Structure 1
């Protein structure tokens, strides 16, 4: 894998550094609804575009979780961030877990917002057809967003989410990413991980639910925790931004900067 500098935007001036990773349907603009209300005094966020998205839409790559984790660690090095926290949404949650598996000694705290588990997300044949065809079928993207937000969101919002997704992602990369986040499995590298790790789910999301996190996330992280937001589905940044900020930043600020005892680094 060749070194690639992920396009990124720095938000805030705080000493606690945070890498924020978007999901399958959006670039770093996924975090736009949060920007005005973040704690930019205590925290500094690096919002990134993964390969195939946003400013990296034309970037070549394998479009895998492993490649993205290596890209993030390279970016942290270039920023001079020896230790940092991670926030990852959906597919980005899988990327954040992979970074933690690679370099637990560097990760202060980990937050997954409706995160795809490190064990992947096996899909039944009908669901696989829906997801795998979404790269070129906007109606499939709309159906997925509608399903994972409980079928209760306005039609105009669904249309806007689809339009953003189509504009910010490369179709070939979008399809390739699915194979990695849905079919990958590296959870054994996280067994008994002591990095404090919070999973934030939305009660309206049937796919990446609190119950799934109890069977996965909470069994791997010895200091794992779970918050289920009652008014949100899969897209808490859009659906419940203030609740999400409070939940995530309270968790991040609980770190006083003292290094945690973490497992030895695993090669991956």
Structure 2
């Protein structure tokens, strides 16, 4: 077990403990737009910086989703969190799924926001070059953000997102993370997990689209849900923050009611469902 402590900040004092894990392009500041409106009475949110990002920008490591999952378990131990849920954006969604293999008994629920599938995202040709060279070329990062938000966002916002990405990430770590989230397939280790799993997909995201979620997330997890946000692309935290909060927090709150229902009914897994912007089914 690693002894590295992920830099983090905790918001709220609710009984339901939740980790929030950022994606490839940002540190924990990726969640800045949703912070003011979180339910801090029901939940305690721990926002973390993965190795190579933010306050952990200079931290050595393998920069893999498996290592990050172990780092989260270590942090949970230090925080005294026996059980917890995990929200993960993009690459962070792959980290959340890794926890299903590393510590399945400790995970209450996972919610992926445009989550990278556990099968990875194999890249080839021009797409591979675009992503690989994004480690060193700001214009490539901008292109990726623009394309995955449907080409509809203001130029100033794209520039700000790129500037934050460059400022908050280490170049070598950024490049190494790509090999893990894009190239590693651990779906066989998590398929069939009974942990309730919500995938939130932006309708404007052509890369991690609702259809990709149906082919991966929805086919692997018996208690899966899919929520589609019509006004969002890949960065729902910035694009549709209030819709995202409502969707995710409604899903997290269902932990108590579904648990009571299952204890009373002593039945099999609940049916999978799909929801629109109003929230998970």
**TM-score class, shorter:** over 0.9
What are the Cα deviations for residues 193-231 of structure 1, in whole angstroms up to 9, with x where unaligned? Answer: 110000001000000011001110011110001011000
Q: Distance in 2 between matches of 1:106 and 1:26?
A: 26
**What is the distance in 1 between the residues matched to 2:144 and 2:191?**
31
1:123-162 → structure 2 map (5 Å cutoff): 123-162=123-162
How many residues get paired?
Answer: 262
Matches within 5 A, 1:216-235: 216-235=216-235
Per the alignment, residue 179 of structure 1 pairs with 179
Residue 246, structure 1, aligned to residue 246, structure 2: yes
1:131 shift after superposition? 0.3
Counterparts of 1:100 and 1:86, CA distance in 2: 10
Report how far residue 123 of structure 1 moved: 1.4
Contact 2:114 2:199 in 1 (8 A): yes
| Greater RCO (Cα-Cα under 8 Å, separation 6 or more) | 1
How far, CA to CA, are the matches of 1:191 and 1:229 in structure 2?
A: 25
TM-score scaled by length of structure 1:
0.95
Once the two structures are overlaid, the 10-residue window that deviates more, 184-193 or 87-96, is: 184-193
Tell me which moved more, 37-46 or 252-261.
Answer: 252-261
Match of 1:254, SS state, is helix
1:2, distance to aligned residue in structure 2 (A): 3.9
Residues 198 and 224 in structure 2, CA contact (< 8 A), matched pair in contact too: yes
**2:92 equivalent in structure 1:** 92
TM-score (norm 2): 0.91
Map of 2:9 onto structure 1: 9
Instruction: Output the aligned Cα RMSD.
Output: 1.5
CA shift, 1:124, in A, is 2.3
Which runs of structure 1 show a deviation greater than 3 angstroms over 4 or more consecutive aligned residues? Answer: 257-261
Counterparts of 2:182 and 2:151 in 1: how far apart (Å)? 22
CA distance in 1, matches of 2:3, 2:94: 20
Any unmatched runs of 5+ in structure 1?
Answer: 262-268
Aligned to 2:115: 115
The whole-number CA distance in structure 2 between the counterparts of 1:123 and 1:224 is: 26
Aligned to 1:159, the other structure's residue is in SS state helix
After TM superposition, the structure 1 = structure 2 runs for residues 254-265 of structure 1, keeping only pairs within 5 Å, are 254-256=254-256, 258=259
Shift, 1:104, TM fit: 1.4
Q: 1:2 to 1:102 in 2, by over 3 A?
A: closer
Q: Which secondary structure state, in structure 1, belongs to the residue aligned with residue 256 of structure 2?
A: coil
How far, CA to CA, are the matches of 2:204 and 2:139 in structure 1? 21
